[in-house]
């Protein structure tokens, strides 16, 4: 059952690092569709689900066989099982269902993350770059909670920025804190009204980046780092 874009509803009182959020694949283009088959442990393509058990959460789904997430509370890898099962554990073969260009591209990085986890037993930090939008999202959540509790814009500014900045910048010329808090309140309202459904979708390229792409300014010779010298977490 879909609840607000999730395949199931997590208890809202669970602390964020302990929550196991499974976004629906319609909203998470990086969700990896797989088919699961049993495989002898000695096969080099086998993935030991028992080894992944500390990070693995699996729930039964309606649209597909199972929905799963691998997470340490901070990094995550989403998997949708089209056939077979991850619940039984043991060694399995995952047949990744990738196709085309636009559909496959957002799933390549999650696939590399899964390969790194299977090989090293850890979430490779280099494959989970920081999203610069995160800080603003956190501010929006704090503002939304404050407004729901009846806080004024000035109360919110005091909590976010402190007395000294509010005293000097509340109605400062240009970008005042008053205006900033109003913008945060609007952004929080937009997220609550359904904008959260776009959080996992890639950001559209900037006009500058799009112009460079159209003119071929970014075209560079490329090579495949898949030879024997490639680092395990960069495959």
Q: Given this model, what pLDDT does residue 117 score? A: 97
- Of 222 and 71, the one with more pLDDT: 71
Q: Given this model, what pLDDT does residue 11 score? A: 74
Question: What mean pLDDT is predicted for residues 15-43?
Answer: 89
pLDDT digits over 197-220, tens only? 888 776 655 555 444 544 444 444
Token couple for 143: 């503002």
pLDDT digits over 95-139, tens only? 999 999 999 999 999 999 999 999 999 999 999 998 888 889 899
Cβ neighbours, 10 Å, residue 64: 17
Token couple for 37: 């088959």
pLDDT digits over 47-61, tens only? 999 999 999 999 987
Q: Given this model, what pLDDT does residue 172 score? A: 85
Residue 136 exposure: Cα atoms within 13 Å on the Cβ side: 14
Cβ neighbours, 10 Å, residue 96: 13
Question: What percent of the chain lies above the pLDDT cut of 90?
Answer: 58
pLDDT digits over 175-198, tens only? 799 999 999 999 999 998 888 888
Say whether 52 sits in a helix, a strand or coil: helix
State the pTM of this model.
Answer: 0.72
Q: Are 26 and 38 in contact (CB under 8 A)?
A: no
pLDDT of residue 6 exceeding 80, the answer is: no
Q: Given this model, what pLDDT does residue 204 score? A: 59
Task: Using alpha carbons, select from 112, 90, 81 the residue that is nearest to residue 226.
Answer: 112
Question: How far is Cα 235 from Cα 224, in angstroms, rounded to an integer?
Answer: 10
pLDDT of residue 91 exceeding 70, the answer is: yes
């Amino acid at each position: 059952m879909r609840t607000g874009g999730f395949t199931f509803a997590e208890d809202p009182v669970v602390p964020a690092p302990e929550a196991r959020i499974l976004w629906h694949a319609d909203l998470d283009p990086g969700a990896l569709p797989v088919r699961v088959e049993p495989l002898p442990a000695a096969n080099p393509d086998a993935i030991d689900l028992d080894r992944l058990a500390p990070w693995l959460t699996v729930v039964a789904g309606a649209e597909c066989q199972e929905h799963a997430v691998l997470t340490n509370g901070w990094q995550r890898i989403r998997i949708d099982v089209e056939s077979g099962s991850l619940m039984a554990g043991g060694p399995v073969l995952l047949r990744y269902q990738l196709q085309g260009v636009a559909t496959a591209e957002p799933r390549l990085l999650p696939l590399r993350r899964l390969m790194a986890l299977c090989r090293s037993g850890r979430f490779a930090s280099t494959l989970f770059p920081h999203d610069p939008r995160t800080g603003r999202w956190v501010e929006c959540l704090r503002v939304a909670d404050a407004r729901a509790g009846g806080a004024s814009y000035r109360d919110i500014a005091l909590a976010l920025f402190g007395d000294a900045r509010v005293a000097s910048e509340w109605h400062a010329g240009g970008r005042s804190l008053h205006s900033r808090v109003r913008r945060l309140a609007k952004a929080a309202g937009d997220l609550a009204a359904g904008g959260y459904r776009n959080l996992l979708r890639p950001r559209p390229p900037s006009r500058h980046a799009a112009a460079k792409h159209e003119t071929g300014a970014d075209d560079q010779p490329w090579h495949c780092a898949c030879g024997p010298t490639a680092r395990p977490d960069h495959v």
